[in-house]
Chain A
Amino acid sequence: KNEVEQSPQNLTAQEGEFITINCSYSVGISALHWLQQHPGGGIVSLFMLSSGKKKHGRLIATINIQEKHSSLHITASHPRDSAVYICAVDGGATNKLIFGTGTLLAVQP
Chain B
Amino acid sequence: NAGVTQTPKFRVLKTGQSMTLLCAQDMNHEYMYWYRQDPGMGLRLIHYSVGEGTTAKGEVPDGYNVSRLKKQNFLLGLESAAPSQTSVYFCASSPGQGAGNQPQHFGDGTRLSIL
- Interface residues, chain A, with chain B CB atoms under 8 Å away: 2, 4, 30-31, 33, 35, 41-45, 48, 50, 86, 88, 90, 92-102
Contact = CB atoms under 8 A, between A and B. Distances in A.
B90 A102 contact: no
B103 A48 contact: yes
Interface stretch (B18-26, B60-68, B77-85, B104-112): B104-112
Contacts of B50: 94
A31 B101 contact: yes
A4 B103 contact: no
Interface string B9-51: 0000000000000000000000101000000111111001010
Given A94-B50, A95-B31, A101 B103 contact: no
Contacts of B94: 95
A45 B95 CA distance: 14
Contacts of A101: 40-42
Contact of A94 (B48, B103, B105): B48
A12 B97 CA distance: 39
Looking at B43, B44, B45, B106, which has the most chain A CB atoms within 10 Å of its CB?
B43
Contacts of B96: 95
A6 to B, nearest CB: 9
B102 A43 contact: no
Nearest to A32: B101
Nearest to A30: B101
B26 to A, nearest CB: 16
A86 B108 CA distance: 16
Nearest to A35: B106
A96 B33 contact: yes
Given A42-B109, A101-B42, 18 more contacts: A2-B42, A4-B42, A30-B101, A35-B106, A42-B106, A42-B107, A42-B108, A45-B104, A45-B105, A48-B101, A86-B42, A86-B43, A94-B56, A95-B101, A95-B102, A95-B104, A96-B45, A101-B41
